[in-house]
């Protein structure tokens, strides 16, 4: 079997003190997305989890708006519930 492995250089974000309240929330979401991406057998779900993680990184970079964080959290919860089904 041939495989393609994707590896990414780590990203480092400086979180301003006024946004530290979001740091823990985003970190937990990234960990949940990573868990799905690393353990789910269905490639579709793994790729979706990676997409959500990438969008979380965009949020940290200031590209996405705060209201979109709730949408990302809902997407991860949906992936987790589909994983259990």
DSSP string, the chain: --------PPP--PPPGGGHHHHHHHHHHHHHHHHHHHH-S-HHHHHHHHHHHHHHHHHHTT-S-THHHHHHHHHHHHHHHHHH-
pLDDT one-digit tens code per residue, 47-69: 999 999 988 888 777 766 776 88
Q: Assign 12 a pLDDT band (cuts: 50, 70, 90).
A: confident
Instruction: Say yes or no to pLDDT of 39 above 80.
Output: yes
């Amino acid at each position: 079997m041939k495989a393609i492995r994707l590896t990414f250089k780590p990203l480092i974000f400086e979180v301003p003190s006024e946004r530290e309240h979001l740091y823990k929330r985003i970190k937990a979401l990234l960990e949940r997305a990573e868990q799905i991406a690393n353990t789910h057998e269905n490639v579709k779900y793994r790729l979706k989890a990676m997409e959500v993680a990438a969008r979380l990184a965009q949020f940290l970079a200031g590209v996405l708006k705060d209201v979109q964080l709730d949408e990302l959290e809902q997407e991860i919860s949906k992936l987790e519930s589909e994983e259990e089904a």
